[in-house]
Chains A and B, each alone.
Chain A
Amino acid sequence: MTKVVYVEYDGSEHVIDVKPGYSVMEGAVKNNVPGIDGDCGGACACATCHVYVDEAWVQRAGVPTSMEEAMLEFAENVEPNSRLACQIKVTDTLDGLIVRLPESQH
């Protein structure tokens, strides 16, 4: 299991053990973390799983595909560390990953 820390817009933290292979979005939805809907179940089709990856983790979380970038461009309050959580696969190297949720998904 890999620990992922989800920080809601209001500061509440959820530390979740996520099965490696799941996406950061799945880890949230399957454990009822508020603020990540993941309508499309991970098809990169809806941008309802927008997160800010903690600066220390940006590199390890990898780079977004052009599809993800195109979706993100139209999400609200996008920052350089914005990602779609459904496109970040949880692996051992992400143990301790911290992601913050945007106000629009609050």
Chain B
Amino acid sequence: MLCKLSPTGAAGPSGKLLEQSEKSVSAPRNPVVVVGAGHAGGTVAALLRQYGLTEPITIVGEETIAPYQRPPLSKAWLKGEVDADDLMLKASDFYRENEIALKLGVRAVRIDRDAKRVHLNDGEEIAYDTLILATGSRARQLAIPGVALDGVQALRSIADAEQLKSKLGKGKRLAVVGGGYIGLEAAASARALGAEAVVVELQDRVLARVACEALSTFLQNYHRARGVIFELNASVAAFEGEAGRVTGVRLADGRLIDADIVLVGVGAIPNDDLARNAGIPCRDGVIVDGDARTSDPSIFAIGDVTQRPLAVYDRMHRLESVANVLEQAKQAACAIAGRPTPPHEVTWNWSDQYDLKLQMAGVAFDTDEILIRGDPAAAGFAVFHLRGGRVQAVEAINAPPEFMMGRQLIAAQRPIARERLSNPAVSMKDVGA
């Protein structure tokens, strides 16, 4: 319950008391419970302390490790450029020093909204005043023969990443099923480790769901030049193995691709069942508002698990990115600590493959025009997606100015001078002016 300040209460005998109750006028009096100890869960707890919240905070997490960053799992960590300690979101003594209780290795199984309690799989029940769902997403599985073979895996957690890394190395053969960002990053990292890599994609190009053709073609060529093999328009019929271990990927056309390890990267599914079973509206994720609040005023949801409003586009969407995690963690923490709602952000994402830095901003909803700036052959260019002459999204390859100004153009949503935007001789500063 929110603590309301009555006039008599405010004029109480103790000045100190008065000061305290004034400070926490819109803050909850009972524990804040966070379900999910991932990037979102760790961030929101830290922000609540940063914003001065003094109530107890408990984070419940199924993984046995404190919150960490996943992006390097397919990039720098996989290549061995950073270690496990670098992945950790906070310093090891951070949670203790900030009185944030971490309950790891346990799973929340049910929310009792009437009693305001979360039930855990170890039998414990935790009372909450405010609940934050930060349960993230899980890798989609394929329903084909052989998925249970040893060596067929997804890449979501540090445990997955360790397993993958232990099997990569000189001369090993990696087959990636699904040409998405994670799959392409893993293929690039595998090449860096001296392994062979084959990417099997159902569509006629990689990144078909998220990028335009020019970018897909550019990336395929870049990967091919570094030894990656692509099987496009290829459907996987089964994984085959010997003695329980995978040995290859059987395509629908009958061909067999030899593999020592198979990475299935075919998208993620939001872990929204806790909310759904508690009667909170969900549609490909828990539906939240611009404060990251669900239909239940004392329950928030943040990160990969949410279906959220995107202010720029005036529509709902589910995002899977760190930028989204941080934006929603701020929204929820501000609402809980009684701060004003933070300004809207233009969503963005990045990817590292070989020496390429990809930076993507916005979402290309219903776009009617594509404008390329720079020369794809020179590995420094940007693709702008327009609707009605306004920039909706940008994909920048080794092109930070295009990305940075692109974000501003997306936020502004005003008509753009096409001939200036597509002319690299006109600086991005001048394009935006």
Which residues of A are found within 8 Å of B359, using beta-carbon distances?
Answer: 45
Given contacts A30-B91, A31-B90, A74-B405, contact A41 B71 (CB under 8 A): yes
* A39 & B326 in contact (Cβ 8 Å cutoff): yes
Which residues of B are found within 8 Å of A44, using beta-carbon distances?
Answer: 357
* A71 & B404 in contact (Cβ 8 Å cutoff): yes
Kindly report which residue of chain A lies nearest to residue B72, judged by CB atoms: A41
Closest chain-B Cβ to A88's Cβ sits at a distance in Å of 16
A70 CA / B382 CA spacing, docked (Å): 15
Task: Count contacts between A and B, CB distance < 8 Å.
Answer: 59
* B50 & A34 in contact (Cβ 8 Å cutoff): yes
Segment 26-83 of A: residues with Cβ below 8 Å from B: 26, 29-32, 34, 37, 39-41, 43-47, 67, 70-71, 73-75
* B322 & A32 in contact (Cβ 8 Å cutoff): no
Tell yes or no: B46 within 8 A of A by CB: yes
Closest chain-A Cβ to B347's Cβ sits at a distance in Å of 11
* B90 & A30 in contact (Cβ 8 Å cutoff): yes
Kindly report which residue of chain A lies nearest to residue B50, judged by CB atoms: A34
A37 CA / B324 CA spacing, docked (Å): 12
Residue among A30, A73, A74 with max Cβ neighbours from chain B (10 Å): A74
A45 CA / B352 CA spacing, docked (Å): 10
Which residues of A are found within 8 Å of B429, using beta-carbon distances?
Answer: 73-74
Which residues of A are found within 8 Å of B322, using beta-carbon distances?
Answer: 39-41
A37 CA / B405 CA spacing, docked (Å): 20
Closest chain-A Cβ to B409's Cβ sits at a distance in Å of 12
Which residues of A are found within 8 Å of B90, using beta-carbon distances?
Answer: 29-32
Which residues of A are found within 8 Å of B49, using beta-carbon distances?
Answer: 32
* B348 & A46 in contact (Cβ 8 Å cutoff): yes
* B94 & A30 in contact (Cβ 8 Å cutoff): yes
* A70 & B88 in contact (Cβ 8 Å cutoff): no
Closest chain-B Cβ to A23's Cβ sits at a distance in Å of 10
Closest chain-B Cβ to A24's Cβ sits at a distance in Å of 14
Tell yes or no: B379 within 8 A of A by CB: no
Which residues of B are found within 8 Å of A67, using beta-carbon distances?
Answer: 357, 400
Contact size range, B: 20 to 34
Tell yes or no: B98 within 8 A of A by CB: yes
A3 CA / B2 CA spacing, docked (Å): 41
Which residues of B are found within 8 Å of A22, using beta-carbon distances?
Answer: 86
Which residues of B are found within 8 Å of A41, using beta-carbon distances?
Answer: 69, 71-72, 322
Given contacts A39-B322, A40-B322, A41-B322, contact A73 B89 (CB under 8 A): no
A44 CA / B398 CA spacing, docked (Å): 11
Segment 315-342 of B: residues with Cβ below 8 Å from A: 322-323, 326
A101 CA / B89 CA spacing, docked (Å): 21
Which residues of A are found within 8 Å of B71, using beta-carbon distances?
Answer: 40-41, 43
* A31 & B94 in contact (Cβ 8 Å cutoff): yes
A31 CA / B49 CA spacing, docked (Å): 12
A41 CA / B404 CA spacing, docked (Å): 17
Tell yes or no: B145 within 8 A of A by CB: no
| Set B46, B89, B350: member contacting A40, Cβ < 8 A | B350
Closest chain-B Cβ to A43's Cβ sits at a distance in Å of 6
Closest chain-B Cβ to A1's Cβ sits at a distance in Å of 11
Q: Mark B242-284, 1 if CB is under 8 A from A, else 0.
A: 0000000000000000000000000000000000000000000
Residue among B89, B400, B428 with max Cβ neighbours from chain A (10 Å): B400
Q: Mark A77-100, 1 if CB is under 8 A from B, else 0.
A: 000000000000000000000000
Given contacts A37-B326, A70-B400, contact A45 B350 (CB under 8 A): yes
7 interchain pairs, CB-CB under 8 A: A30-B90, A40-B322, A41-B72, A41-B322, A43-B350, A73-B429, A74-B428
Report the 4 A-B pairs with minimum CB-CB distance, sorted nearest first. A74-B404, A45-B350, A70-B400, A30-B91
The residues of B with any CB-CB pair to A shorter than 8 Å are: 46, 49-50, 69, 71-72, 86, 88-91, 94, 98, 322-323, 326, 348, 350, 352, 357, 359, 400-401, 404-405, 408, 428-429
